[in-house]
Amino acid sequence: MTAIIDGKASAERLLAGIAADALAFRQEHGMPPTLAVILIGDDPASQVYVGRKIAACRRVGIGSIEHRLDGDFGEEALLALIDRLNADAKVHGILVQLPLPQGIRANPVLDRITPEKDVDGFHPVNVGRLSIGSDGLMPCTPLGCMILLDSVIQDFRGLSAVVVGKSNIVGKPVALLMLERECTVTVTHIHTRGLPDIVRSADIVVVAAGSPGLVRGDWIKPGAVVIDVGINRISDGADGSRIVGDCVFEEMSHARAVSPVPGGVGPMTIACLLSNTVRAARRQVR
Ligand code: NAD
């Protein structure tokens, strides 16, 4: 029987712990752990994501400060805002919602956030810490993948893990996290040759390609654990649409466990962002 890895339930458990931690922090320090969120422009998807993050903060007692800025807010002004938030002792996490409007370069902006407040884990210092296995802030989606894997795998040592996708926000960091657990990790991408056979060799498959239906059932070794990170909106025929992952979910019945889309990695990402905010707050007051 294939276990369906319930990301919603895992996220709820994590959020309950975060709420308790946030309350304890507030009692000890007279202020809540606080996240500043910067959104520039009116991209509808970004508006939705930011709204969800703010709502999740409120739910667990994390303070939130919103900076919703016009699309013509310039890069220099944005850097100056980040400098102010970096210096504000009441702000523990800073998140700049991506993508940024044309004319603002993401790298200088993300690099400006002090690594101690970089709750997305995108700053080069935190990327470096992750790559040497030291204790930095780690990116949220890969952290969520690891928590889901932890719910079904006791011992990672020596397992063969294949990651499909090599992005800086998912593929590479999740590969590093599994390497830290002593997996033998292969990272694949759009130019990888013989991808089905490589995936077929894996005990753990993490797919983050953004390609609906890419991974078929006959790519998966019986008994493997599959984490599907993909979020793709596809047309449903008539006028409707639905969200699917990168794996053909119905063909995964010989896997030991599989995370569904929706309801798998998605709910974990925001929960891990909040977890990072509390962690960042604790480290800053220490
Ligand atoms: P990206 O576009 O930055 O990177 C995609 C990677 O997949 C690239 O390395 C590319 O080479 C590889 N790839 C694409 N098509 C491929 C193919 N046919 N075969 C092999 N490799 C292929 O994407 P990303 O930001 O890493 O996101 C990947 C997917 O994960 C998207 O669907 C995105 O929406 C989703 N995502 C979900 C969450 C979440 O919270 N659940 C978070 C981030 C991203």
Domains and their CATH numbers in the chain = 30-115 (3.40.50.10860), 140-266 (3.40.50.720)
Per-residue pLDDT of the chain (286 residues; tens, 9 = 90+): 999 999 999 999 999 999 999 999 999 999 999 999 999 999 999 999 999 999 999 999 999 999 999 999 999 999 999 999 999 999 999 999 999 999 999 999 999 999 999 999 999 999 999 999 999 999 999 999 999 999 999 999 999 999 999 999 999 999 999 999 999 999 999 999 999 999 999 999 999 999 999 999 999 999 999 999 999 999 987 779 999 999 999 999 999 999 999 999 999 999 999 999 999 999 999 8
Q: Which amino acid is at 204?
A: I
- The interface predicted TM-score of the complex, written ipTM, equals 0.99
Q: Is 265 in the pocket of ligand 1 (CB under 6 A)?
A: yes
Please give the angle made by the CA atoms of 127, 133 and 137, to the nearest 5 degrees.
Answer: 45
Q: Is 139 in the pocket of ligand 1 (CB under 6 A)?
A: no
Protein residue whose Cα sits closest to atom 3 of ligand 1: 167
Q: What secondary structure does DSSP assign to 147-191, as a single string?
A: HHHHTT-S--TT-EEEEE---TTTHHHHHHHHHHTT-EEEEE-TT
Q: Is 259 in the pocket of ligand 1 (CB under 6 A)?
A: no
Task: Please give the distance, rounded to the nearest whole angstrom, from the Cα atom of residue 109 to the centre of ligand 1.
Answer: 22
Task: Please give the distance, rounded to the nearest whole angstrom, from the Cα atom of residue 118 to the centre of ligand 1.
Answer: 22
The reply to whether the predicted model has a pTM over 0.90 is yes
Distance CA(236)–CA(274), nearest Å, equals 33
| Beta bridge partners of residue 207, listed in sequence order | 164, 228
Catalytic positions are: 53, 97, 120
Q: Is 269 in the pocket of ligand 1 (CB under 6 A)?
A: yes
Task: Please give the distance, rounded to the nearest whole angstrom, from the Cα atom of residue 197 to the centre of ligand 1.
Answer: 20
Protein residue whose Cα sits closest to atom 40 of ligand 1: 266
User: Quick one: which atom of ligand 1 is closest to the CA of 265?
Assistant: 41
